[in-house]
Amino acid sequence: MTIKEPRSSQPLAVNLLKTVAYVLGSVLLFVAIAMAASAIVSVFYAEYETAMWIAISAGITALFGYTTRRLVPRPRSITVKQGFATVGLAWFVFSIFGALPYLLSGAIPNISDAVFETASGFTTTGASILADPSLLPKGISFWRALTQWLGGMGVIVLGVAILPLLGTGGMQLARAESPGPTPDRLTPRFQGTAKRLWIIYAIITVIEMGFLSVGDMTGFQAVIHSLTTMSTGGFGTEATSIAGFSNYTKWVITFFMFVAGVSFALHFRAWSKPVEYWKNSEFRLYGLIIVGAIVIVAGGLLGGDLEPLTAVRDAIFNTISLVTTTGFWSTDFGQWRPALQIMVVGLMFLGGMAGSTAGGMKTFRIGVLSKAAFADLRRLVHPRGIFVTRFGGKRVSDPVIEAVQSYFLFYMFLFMTSTFLLAFIDANLSEDLDLITATTAVAASIGNIGPGLGEVGPAGNYAGLPDLAKWLLSSLMIVGRLEIFPVLVLFTKDLWRR
């Protein structure tokens, strides 16, 4: 009993990088398996050369993953702080590995473009540098959709679900990766929860495939669009997104976009008891926001020269697509009248429920933020009154409120500084971009939506931006997907100090 515990003799930074390497090693194996699946799809469509390049990418990724996993010892334990930083760093690295199939196959030869497309994939943003995705080889198109599907529920969460990755540390990692402030536990152990979430996610995706394949989509298109709807990604196979498909297809996708914006833990609970949906106050708020937004947008469109039925359908489809941050479009909302375009920008910030695959700020945060603000207002009227912020019948503790408020602050701060940076880059490297393009490109990247307005609107794409701008936006997508803190924590001194 009198033996001294050895103190870690390594600086924190080294320990942290070791943890990152170990986690990456494991996660890259999954990425490699997904690449291999895409190679098989390529073979199926007789694209042998593409298949070979994707397979080589898979090989490189697997080799790298395997060696790091062998070389780096399994870290003993991970603190909350380290978990955040690990996830932040890991996402940047595997976005680069994910670009290999594009680069090697020659589908996207420029490295900035390829990394942009991959980051846009894993983060379920759906912004693209491609003018016409229908020209891509099938295997590459499949890989593109698969990155979104993996990124939707989270590659690290998948790692936790399948491997007992890092024991307790896995929980800290998965927490940093899961959208929303507090992950809902379906089982006592996080591994069980992660498994259930992935299973329900996969099941709903397959159901959507079934519905889509009986419409006017080909089997391949149904698979791709299901993968990218459920992840609220928005990559498609056509240059015109969903605009060219039948009304049936549009309604199916509308429904599943709505479903993808709902917490998957809630889907799991409500599977046998649908009334659980209605009992959930975040779900009710989510529904309310969507209905309210649809009413406003539809009102605006009905005043135009569109047929009423088309106007309402366009309003419903595009509003849900924007609020859930999917980024599909059924009509070029860049052509809408200016007031509605401002509405579009506003919708980009909302996002779906916490625990869904959607980006944005999340309904939970919006609810808490407005309730806390209202409580502050009442405090002014009754200086001695005690006001407790409640959400869903439960008290929201002060640390949670503070975290939500600082999240909002960081989100807006990041939005404004990045817009400025993007405008600055553009002014120096290419012709000036208009304000609308710069603001919406940033908002659509942080919020993981995809298309913005102006040059990067539904009819355009991100190819025209300078390389530096693409790297900036790729980073913003990752920052947005991981909900800011895991990345920002990398820039704090405390993390790197011993």
Query: Residue numbers of the site for other proteins (CB under 8 A)?
Result: 1-6, 80, 164, 167-168, 170-171, 185, 187-192, 397
395 DSSP β-pair partners: 390
- In the numeric block, the tokens 């779900």 are attached to 283
CB of 192 to other proteins, least distance (A): 7
Nearest approach, Cβ of residue 480 and other proteins (Å) = 25
254-283 core/surface letters (b: 16 or more CB in 10 A; e: else)? bebbbbbbbbbbbbbbbeeeeeebeebbbb
In angstroms, give the least distance from the CB of 370 to other proteins.
Answer: 24
Residue in this structure with the two tokens 């794409």, named with its chain if needed: 461
Question: What angle do the packed helices 111-122 and 138-153 form, to 10 degrees?
Answer: 50
Q: How far is CA 174 from CA 76, 166, 315, 407, in A?
A: 17, 11, 36, 19
CA pair distance 443, 434, nearest whole angstrom = 15
Q: Which residue has the tokens 């791709």?
A: 224
Q: Which is nearer to other proteins, 81 or 284 (CB)?
A: 81
Is the Cβ of residue 132 or residue 398 nearer to other proteins in the bound state? 398
The nearer residue to other proteins, 194 or 293, going by C-beta atoms, is 194
Q: CA angle, corner 321, sides to 316 and 324, nearest 5?
A: 120
Q: Which is nearer to other proteins, 63 or 199 (CB)?
A: 199
DSSP string over 298-353: HHHHHTTTS-HHHHHHHHHHHHHHHHTT----SS-GGGS-HHHHHHHHHHTTT---
Question: Comparing C-alpha atoms, which of 138, 87, 97 is closest to residue 118?
Answer: 97
Half-sphere exposure of 236 (CA within 13 A, CB side): 22
Q: Which residue type sits at 291?
A: V
Instruction: In angstroms, give the least distance from the CB of 189 to other proteins.
Output: 6
32 vs 160, beta carbon nearer other proteins:
160
Q: Toward other proteins, which CB reaches closer, 3 or 339?
A: 3
Closest by CA to 120, choosing from 135, 105, 133, 138, is 133
Least distance to other proteins, CB of residue 382, Å: 25
Distance of closest approach, residue 168 Cβ to other proteins, in angstroms: 5
CB of 481 to other proteins, least distance (A): 23
What's the first-to-final CA gap in the chain, in angstroms? Answer: 28
The conformation of residue 10, written as its DSSP 8-state character, comes to S
Q: How far is the CB of 6 from other proteins (least distance, A)?
A: 5
Please, which residue, 186 or 242, has the CB nearer to other proteins? 186
* Residue 3 or 309 with smaller CB distance to other proteins: 3
* Sequence-separated (6 or more) residues with CB below 8 Å from residue 101: 35, 38, 53, 54, 57, 107, 139, 140, 143
Nearer to other proteins, 246 or 397 (CB): 397
CB contact at 8 A, 158 and 67: no
Task: Supply the minimum distance, in Å, between the C-beta of residue 284 and other proteins.
Answer: 22
